[in-house]
Amino acid sequence: MTHLLSLADWPPRWIEETIEHGLQIKRDPARVARALEGRVLLMLFEKPSLRTRLSFEVAMVQMGGHAIYYDLGTSPLGRGKESLADTARTASRYVDAIMARLFRQADLEELAAHASVPVINGLTDHEHPCQVLGDLMTIREKKGRLQGVTLAYVGDGHNNVTHSLLLGGAAVGMHVRVGCPEGQDYEPEATVLARAREIARETGARIEIVHEARAAVAGADIVYTDTWMSYHIPPEQRAERERRLRPFQVTMDLMRQARPDALFMHCLPAERGAEMTDEVIDGPQSIVFDQAENRLHIQKAILLRLLGQ
């Protein structure tokens, strides 16, 4: 049985095959219209969601299956009356797969350790693999390739999307350049960076960390950013984080440092006027809503791989 907990767990071939399958599904969704008939996905949510919930729920419906939304805040688990292990064992008796959007990666791993069905990481504080598989599909769709593409991520490098971009980009042979402030609160986690570089040695990818936004974006094919205030960050840190991260805001001037045909990406939700300007996210280089749409197609490909279809 296979899970999707981290892109570090999947061999590069699986990542590439899933991306290609997502593109095939997008071109011809009818080919999988009944592929999961009678199957049930349980969706466990500890964090708010728009794209993750809708894309998985719609994916299951469009493939003939069903999705059940379960808010952990009102559950026996969330109220301290049931363990993760017992939740996983019980749910596995009813459903065919579990997608969990949790705070702690360790909780996700415990859930998977006791589940007898595939578990999908719908987001944790540490990684966001489904998002990045969709992002890689979008880059492949727009640029025609992944190998050798330069992706510049600018902003908060110590977050789940950056971690998964490093691991996923390394697996498909990209040049991933992270531009962020110095310090452990803003740089990618050292263990993730080491694993990404290990993968990169096998695939020909390049991984680079810089501390100046223009240097990060210079000559890039893709400019990517994310929120400066992830869900787990206390509100009282906002002022200091904005001060440190403001030099990494994506503006039209910063976009001009990238290639003329560079594209702008953001996983959403976006805080306009913070990590990027309205001019950028609404401009002709922005593909953020194509990126959001592709979450639907890649979720289908992920579900089909894990459920053996």
User: Token pair for residue 47?
Assistant: 């964090």
221 is a catalytic site residue: no
Amino acid present at 42: L
Residue 79: the pLDDT is: 61
Q: Which residues pair with 286 in a beta bridge?
A: 264
**What is the per-residue DSSP string for 266-296?**
E-S---BTTTB-HHHHTSTTB-HHHHHHHHH
Catalytic option among 3, 51, 131, 297: 131
Q: Is 101 a catalytic residue?
A: yes
Q: Which of 126, 267, 297, 299 is catalytic?
A: 267
Torsional class of 145: left (φ above 0), alpha (ψ -120 to 50), beta (otherwise): beta
Quick check: is 177 catalytic? no
The encoded tokens of residue 201 equal 């040695």
Residues of the chain within CATH 3.40.50.1370 domain(s) are: 7-128+295-306, 129-291
pLDDT tens-place string over residues 71-121: 988 776 766 678 999 999 999 999 999 999 999 999 999 999 999 999 999
Class at the top of the CATH hierarchy for domain 7-128+295-306: alpha beta
Query: Looking at 3, 244, 295, 297, which residue is catalytic?
Result: 295
- Please provide the size of the chain in residues: 309
Q: Is 66 a catalytic residue?
A: no
Q: How many CA atoms lie within 13 A of 1 on its CB side?
A: 15
CATH number, domain 129-291:
3.40.50.1370
Q: pTM to 2 decimals?
A: 0.96
Predicted local confidence at residue 261, as pLDDT? 98
Q: Which of 3, 39, 51, 101 is catalytic?
A: 101
pLDDT tens-place string over residues 211-247? 999 999 999 999 999 998 877 778 888 889 999 999 9
Predicted pLDDT at 1 = 79
Q: Contact 120/52 with Cβ under 8 angstroms?
A: no
Measured over the CA atoms of residue 196, residue 199, residue 202 and residue 205, the dihedral's sign is negative
